[in-house]
Chains A and B, each alone.
Chain A
Amino acid sequence: MTDIFEPEIVAFCCHYCAYTAADMAGSKRISYPPNVKIIRVPCTGKVDAIHIMKALEKGADGVYVAGCLEGDCHFKTGNLRAAQRVRRVKALLEEIGFDSRRVEMILMSAGMGERFAQTAREFTEKIRELGPNPIRSAIQEQARRAAG
């Protein structure tokens, strides 16, 4: 039996834009892949580097942070700070030889239900191509060995 790879994706979504956009996608009945697990945050500026790292360390195949368009942040510059943190995490991942394309920063506004769905689809497809998070595979392998 061959396992079909279904990526698990964590999306940190700002309450004022991406999360509302996800809602909008729902009410417009625009479907997006169930692979994307949304975590609502009050502002993407609240997303710390460690949150992204922990998601990957626990086996998420991809992580994206979705914040407001430039200049639209409810808290002025939270989205810019988030973008800087995402860059920092990507650099750290590169340093340990981990494909940094598994982490992205994405901008959208609350009204962009279609963009939310499209982003979710595109990111899922990209991660599907990259394959499973090597750490998830390592964790599973260890669990298999532990179970004998």
Chain B
Amino acid sequence: MITAVRKPMEEIIACVSPYDRILLVGCNECVSVCSAGGRKEVALLSSALQMHFLKQGKTIEIREMTLERQCDPEYVEELVNYMDGADAVLSMACGCGVQTIAARFREKPVFPAVNTTFMGASERQGVWSERCQGCGDCVLGITGGICPIARCSKRLLNGPCGGSTKGKCEIDANVDCAWQLIWDRLKALGLEKRIEDVIEAKDWRTSRDGGPRKIVREDLAS
């Protein structure tokens, strides 16, 4: 999922202060699962903003909406009837959601209420870790199902480096060394020999080096 964390209240307040009527929009997908921008977080943020402004003697109108998927124009269209009644939009979705709203409602200021952080997986209740950087040419098949791009601090394709100590990465003793994990997993699979195969330099054009990316499915595209 795409993970996010709420921005500091001070920053959010500064964004919405000039406006009287705010449309606060959450998203039911990734940001709900990582408890950053779903219905519950929308309600909490709305309440905190109301309290802040009431304390200042100002009343603002906040309409709360949580869309099924904010990165999908089909669902963003549901906001159309509420836009006239809003001076600005505050979005709790990831950056993709914020931009979908901005593209559809060009005349309305849109502010992000969360910092979109990474593509990750849930380790346990309340803990999410980065797992993929969308490099566009997945190597998990040869690295024992552990991503060296997202999880090795140096993105080494042929690790480990000399900094790997007792299974931990040299950047921080709390961070697992991805290449230790890869080694352990290859061993468990009986594929130790594979660690000696040199993984060739990656073609980063499939990643961000090739500029903004796009997927066009001719069979689906309208």
Contacts and interface: CB of A to CB of B under 8 A. Distances in A.
A binds B: yes
Contacts of A139: 54
B211 interface: no
Interface in A44-85: 48-50, 53-54, 56-57
A50 B40 contact: yes
A96 B44 contact: no
B14 to A, nearest CB: 13
A92 B48 contact: yes
B185 to A, nearest CB: 32
Contacts of A54: 47
Given A92-B9, A96-B9, A135-B54, A53 B48 contact: yes
A96 B52 contact: yes
B9 A138 contact: no
A138 B8 CA distance: 24
Interface string B33-67: 00000001001100110111011010100000000
Nearest to A88: B44
Contact of B43 (A50, A56, A97, A141): A50
A57 B40 contact: no
B48 A95 contact: yes
A50 B38 CA distance: 13
Given A98-B51, A98-B55, A142-B59, A53 B44 contact: yes
Interface string A111-148: 00000000000000000000000110011011000000
A98 B13 CA distance: 14
Interface of B: 8-10, 13, 40, 43-44, 47-48, 50-52, 54-55, 57, 59
